[in-house]
Each structure stands twice: as structure tokens, then as C-alpha cells.
Amino acid sequence: MNDLHGKRIVLGLTGGIACYKAAELCRSLVKAGAQVQVVMTEAAAQFITPVTLQALSGHPVYTSQWDAREGNNMAHINLSREADAIVIAPASADFMAKLIHGKADELLSLMCLARPLQTVPLILAPAMNREMWAHPATQRNVAQLKADGAHVLDVGQGDQACGETGDGRMLEADEIVEELLAFWTPQVLKGQQVLITAGPTYEAIDPVRGITNLSSGKMGFAIARAARHAGAEVTLVAGPVSLPTPRGIKRIDVRSALQMNDAVQGLAGHASVFIAAAAVADWRPAAAADHKIKKDGSGDAPDMKFVENPDILAQVAHSERAQKRQLFCVGFAAESHDLLALATAKRARKGVPLLVGNIGPSTFGQDDNALLLVDAQGAKELPRDTKTKLAQDLIQDIAQRLSKH
């Protein structure tokens, strides 16, 4: 999905070994739909060639304020006026120091100084040695850049080219793209504490067998990501899935319905929105065997007894916090047929203001879905689309409901 479609980004590179990451970042930005114009300092060209970035961006790279390709010889004016944002990645300690003093002795710093402050944001992805990052001068500079209106991203932690380990690494390309997506997403959930469940649960029969379902967790994870982009602080309680944690989200891994219930009940008291997207098992074996249950040759299946799992959504929806309208609850229903009727009945039974229905067999494990939003007034369809897009639409819908809640 081209989430950055139409965005015009000036990608600035300053000197540092992290320039090698700029190649993947450029590629990722283009893949996300952005138009990328690369501007490099002389020092950056010592680490990666302009030819590489030209091939990846599809545009000639600018390296000098004296570039004769500009008819008025004012690349620093022309390029900054055409941009939706200037992204400096990597941003070296030296370059950030220059910015706070308004120094402009080459094209990239000239552009940063000449950009229209109200319409062209400056976004910096720092990269440097851990001692340089921790130095009081660098931290003062970062604080001043933020005070001046620049958006300074966090740094990563890990092994560095110098052989040391610590803070100061430039974020990876996908992490920077995530930050840009959040930067340009309307902050309709700013200040909200969102708690989301996702994925299946697993109810053990014995140490090697269990009861579960085909939920991949993709829808719930997409909703968590969309909520975070919209400005919320998000906690994700995930069943057993093999999905990476979306950036900026607190994740709690659980296995069984009882574990998910314990986690949710402990967190719901601090949430303002609860989205129960997990496919929770309705029943579990009354007692799991300590050892693998073996066939005895009789042809008879073992006699198993089941007990009902707690209704996580109903408990939260009937909590004092929810009843006082301090917690907005959203349920999910994965059905195999008669979606409207079953989802409508489930919404009333659970006592939630909004229930999201879908046909489980047609969406489990897939990257797309179709949703039915059911409330007290009726139902609204969200036609089949990517789970990313549906998650964004659902979050926008929830935000509108919260404004009236």
C-alpha cells in the first residue's frame, strides 16, 4: 500500500557510515509512493556514491549549491519550496551543531535554513558513536533543534562500526518510514490509551497438543499500528503469532485465554479504548494431561471434558470504568455465516457500543479482509481491502465515535 503516495521528500545525507542505510531508506520511500530527491554533503559522498542514490530515487542527486542545472542557480530555494518535508538521514553530530547556529556553508544546510518553516518540516535521524551521542553538547543541540521546531527521531541501540556497542545507531529504514507515516497521520487519538488483543489463543490438551484456531493476528496488529500512527499510546496483548511488534507499541505475549484474560483485566483500568480483536477460544480442557495422551489400540478417543473460558470482552464492557463511559469498548466477531444477524446479536449480548464482524474462513491468514461495523443504529460495511487500510478506516471511525462518547 502506497501510504506516502504523492509526498515529495528531500532526503539529505551527511557524512557517516550510516549512509549505507540511506540506500535502503531511499528504496523504501519510493516503494511507499514518495517522490524522493536526494541531496548529499561532500562528506556523505565519501561513504556512498551519488550514482547509487540516483539509481534508487530515479532523480539526479544534488551535491553542490553551485549546481548549474538550476536556471536561477538557487537549488537551495527551488528544492525546499517543492518539498513536503526534508529528511536528514543520517544526521551527523556536526551537521546538527551547524543547524542550531544557522550555519549554511553547503547546499544541504542552506536548504534547511531557507525552507519555509510553516510548510516544510525538518525531520532528523541522528547517527553517531555512542560517546558522541551521549555528550552533553550533542544532547543540548538535540534539545535546541526540537525547540526550534525540528522533529528529531530516536536513535537505535546496538553494535557500531567502531566496534563499540550502545546508543547512537541510525534507525533502520523501515523504522524511519514508520515514523514518517505516523508524522503525517492526523493525530485523532492523541492522548488516548488503547488496549488491543490480537491473534488466537491456545488451550493445551497435553504437552504437545492443544485447541486453537486459524487467526493470524494480522488484523489486530494492523489496528494497533494504525492507532499508534493516530497518536495513541498502544498496548497489544498478543496470542501465539509470529508477527513482528509494530514500532512504538508495548507488546505482551500470552498463550491461553486465561492468560489473556489476566493481562487484559490488569490493563483495562488504565485504558480509554479497548479493542478485542483476538479470536479467543470459547472452551478449554477441564484439565490438561501432564504427559502426551497415547492411543491405546481400542479405537476409542479419550474422554475429554471442557469448561467455558472467561468472556474477556463482556467483563471489560460491564466494568465500572466502561459503565461510566471512561472506557470505549469495541468487540470483534468472526463468523462463518449470517454475519449481520450474528454480529448484531453478539453486540447486544456483550453490551458494547461497537462490534466489528467478519467472515473468519475468508480472512484468517490473509492480508485483506472485509468488515461490518455494527452499532445501536444499524450496520455499515467496509468493503474488502487490505487489512492496513481497513485498520486505518476503523481507527478513524472509532475516533469519530469517541468525540461524541
Residue 159's pLDDT is 87
Average pLDDT over residues 269-292: 95
Structural domain spans, the chain: 8-184, 193-285+303-404
The pLDDT confidence band at residue 68, using thresholds 50, 70 and 90, is: confident
Residue 109 has pLDDT above 90, yes or no: yes
How much is the mean pLDDT over the chain?
A: 94
Residue 360's pLDDT is 85
The pLDDT confidence band at residue 303, using thresholds 50, 70 and 90, is: confident
Looking up cell 467478519 gives 358
Q: How far is CA 178 from CA 17, 32, 85, 183, 294, in A?
A: 22, 11, 15, 9, 49
The pLDDT confidence band at residue 254, using thresholds 50, 70 and 90, is: very high
Poorest-pLDDT segment among 45-54, 68-77, 109-118, 367-376: 68-77
How many CB atoms within 10 Å of residue 44? 27
Residue 65's pLDDT is 87
Poorest-pLDDT segment among 185-199, 266-280, 289-303, 317-331: 289-303
Question: Do residues 198 and 364 touch, judged by C-beta distance below 8 A?
Answer: no
Burial of 11 (0-12, 13-18, 19+ CB in 10 A): buried
What is the share, in percent, of the chain residues with pLDDT greater than 70? 100
pTM equals: 0.91
Q: What backbone phi and psi angles, to 5 degrees, belong to 331?
A: -105, 165
C-alpha cell at 226: 494504525
What is the share, in percent, of the chain residues with pLDDT greater than 90? 86
- Distance between CA atoms of residues 240 and 143, nearest Å: 40
Residue 218's pLDDT is 96
- Residue that wins the pLDDT comparison between 71 and 364: 364
Residue 313 has pLDDT above 80, yes or no: yes
The CATH number of the structural domain formed by 193-285+303-404 is 3.40.50.10300
- Residue that wins the pLDDT comparison between 32 and 70: 32
Question: Do residues 4 and 35 touch, judged by C-beta distance below 8 A?
Answer: no
Average pLDDT over residues 293-316: 92
35 pairs with which residues across the strands? 8
Residue 300's pLDDT is 87
Q: What is the pLDDT of residues 72-99, one digit of tens each?
A: 878 888 888 999 999 999 999 999 999 9
Residue 43 has pLDDT above 60, yes or no: yes
Q: At what angle do helices 93-100 and 136-147 cross, to 10 degrees?
A: 50
Residue 2's pLDDT is 56
Residue 355 has pLDDT above 60, yes or no: yes
C-alpha cell at 310: 472467561
Same fold, 8-184 and 193-285+303-404: yes
Identify which of 36, 15, 131, 147 has the alpha carbon closest to the alpha carbon of residue 87.
36
Q: What backbone phi and psi angles, to 5 degrees, belong to 152?
A: -100, 120
Q: For residue 347, give the 3-state DSSP assignment.
A: helix
Q: What is the pLDDT of residues 213-232, one digit of tens each?
A: 999 999 999 999 999 999 99
Identify which of 4, 53, 6 has the alpha carbon closest to the alpha carbon of residue 29.
4
Residue 257's pLDDT is 98
Residues noted as catalytic: 162
137-155 burial: b if 16+ Cβ within 10 Å, else e: ebeebbeebeeeebbbbeb
- Residue that wins the pLDDT comparison between 366 and 75: 366
8 pairs with which residues across the strands? 35
Residue 141's pLDDT is 97
Question: Do residues 327 and 352 touch, judged by C-beta distance below 8 A?
Answer: no
Q: Both ends of the chain: CA-CA distance in Å?
A: 32
Identify the architecture of domain 8-184 in CATH. 3-Layer(aba) Sandwich (3.40)
For 18-62, the DSSP string reads: THHHHHHHHHHHHHTT-EEEEEE-TTGGGTS-HHHHHHHHSSPPB
C-alpha cell at 33: 509512493
Establish whether the linkage from the previous residue to 136 is cis, with ω within 30° of 0. no
Q: Which amino acid appears at position 55 of this protein?
A: A
Which run of H or of E encompasses 10? Answer: strand 8-13
- Distance between CA atoms of residues 328 and 321, nearest Å: 9
- Distance between CA atoms of residues 176 and 243, nearest Å: 19
